[in-house]
Amino acid sequence: MKDNEFDTIVIGAGNGGLTAALTLQKKGKKVLLLDKGRVPGGFASSFVRGRFEFEASLHELCEYGDESNPGEVYEIFKELGIAKSLETKIIPETFCVYETSTNSYYEMPIGEEKFLEKMESYVPNSKESMTIFFSLCKEVQAAFKYFNETKGHPDSQVLMEKFPRFMVVAPYPVEKVLKEIKMPLRARQILETYWSYLGSPASKLSFAHYASMIYSYIIKGPVILNKNSHQISLALSEEFENSGGTVKYLTGVREILVNNNEVEGIITKDNQKFLTKHIISNISPNVVFEKLIKKENVPLRANQLLNTRILGARGICIYLGLNKTMEELGLKNYSYFIYQTLNSDIEYKRMHSIYNGNLVATLKNYGKDSSILCITSLVFGDEFTRLVNKENYFEIKEKIAEHFVSSFEKNLNVNIKDAIEEIEIATPLTFARYGGHPDGVIYGYLATSYDNLLPRIMTEEQEIFIKGLRFCGGFGSRLSGYSSAYINGHQEALKTLGEDF
């Protein structure tokens, strides 16, 4: 094989791209990993302001667990050789949610029995339906494990025989299934708190997808790692190079070469040509089909699919370095969800406005005398783009920060502003510029109806419109999220191994 020829080229060293590239390299393939940035990670990054190093996007990791209770991400990291370098701290609560319209507060613990007991204390007579819910969750997770084992080609007869209840609930959204098992309204709404982590309201979000995620949080607990996301990216990248892989940073792709509906290689922006029959893209299909492949080589079906998919949530993040500890601020929890109501449909509609007041905040001590607070709000739709121009951009950023910090202070009855030592504000324009995602989307495509997790997995092979071209990461079949991206990259690598080389 010539120097410029590779078994596989991976475009983008984000979470999915890194696990895809390293998986293939560990399997003995010759892999080239390209990224336009100076360092690996994409959104999995950190930045320094003053004495604070801020985590850009990873707040807690799902599906990790530990050696005694491993999740799927832990198993992948173990296989790829980086799990030993990572230590975990399990967050004691699953989530804390404030409903501002009723001044209600719910704090849910990890562990199935503790979760059941706490829910029963908040919502009497909910235990029976919650027990049914957990039973369904276990079958959903077992079914998804079977999907992974069959690489997305399950035997329908096996599904019917081994996972009959999964087959019943799989087509339906969260809201419908919880109603069918007669879960009380307030219990449903508390349980649905994490809907914003998947970016779709409970009336549209796949029950199977949500059940799998929330059960992992409840059983294994969300974890904080001893390394930030950038350090994890570096660990994956270094292991890739130590395993013989070739990585080129500051190397953007100008064109993906296609002939007779098959990939042939790529041309970089500095006119280097690399040949391959297999490409895994960690950048979105929108960018690939609209900018990187000549129009005459883009199949009609690819354009049709892009026109039917809806871009997911944009992100607004306020990063605060505080000169007081959590204890000095009077706060004890790591994560806080603040919604006006616990009705996800209402809140989803409200999140089409920038100044909606809904937020997810994480807080942790930083050394002995300070702490870091990250406030994140999702925005659906294009209101931010419509309101912002060159003249008012910084003014609007400041108004947004004021609005969300004030909302946090008011609802938790704390004083944050007097403790602010450093502040940074990221908007959809920040994420569009840094990550190259269309419209600053941080959640891939909207998970809804036909475009939920299970349909995406089931139709993935039908969406290979150009032979040898696959996608991973937040726009891949596992949808958005850190764990999803790591898992999806690993799976796409395994599927690539099953193709002709």
Q: What is the pLDDT of residues 55-77, one digit of tens each?
A: 999 988 988 988 888 989 999 99
Q: Among candidates 138, 170, 132, which has minimal Cα distance to 154?
A: 170
Q: Among candidates 24, 345, 388, which has minimal Cα distance to 204?
A: 345
Whether residue 186 is predicted with pLDDT greater than 70 in this model: the reply is yes
The residue type at 47: F
* Residue percentage of the chain with pLDDT more than 90: 76
**Sign of the CA dihedral running 82, 83, 89, 95:** positive
Average pLDDT, integer, range 469-486: 92
pLDDT at position 300 is 95
Q: Among candidates 30, 40, 118, 44, which has minimal Cα distance to 480?
A: 44
pLDDT at position 454 is 82
Interval 21-44: pLDDT, tens:
999 999 999 999 999 999 999 889
Between 112 and 221, the higher pLDDT residue:
112
Average pLDDT, integer, range 383-411: 94
Interval 241-263: pLDDT, tens:
999 999 999 999 999 999 999 99
Model confidence at 92, pLDDT cuts 50, 70, 90, reads confident
Domain ranges of the chain: 8-85+226-307+446-497, 110-221, 313-435
Structure tokens at 432: 């569009």
Average pLDDT, integer, range 101-107: 95
Model confidence at 8, pLDDT cuts 50, 70, 90, reads very high
pTM equals 0.93
Q: Which residues contact 279 (CB under 8 A, 6 or more apart)?
A: 8, 9, 10, 11, 256, 263, 266, 468, 469, 470
Interval 145-179: pLDDT, tens:
888 788 767 888 998 999 999 999 988 999 999 99
Whether residue 501 is predicted with pLDDT greater than 90 in this model: the reply is no
pLDDT at position 1 is 80
pLDDT at position 221 is 86
Q: Among candidates 69, 61, 68, 48, which has minimal Cα distance to 15?
A: 61
pLDDT at position 391 is 95
H/E stretch holding 17 = helix 15-26
CATH (residue range 8-85+226-307+446-497) = 3.50.50.60
Whether residue 437 is predicted with pLDDT greater than 90 in this model: the reply is no
Whether residue 463 is predicted with pLDDT greater than 70 in this model: the reply is yes
Average pLDDT, integer, range 228-252: 96
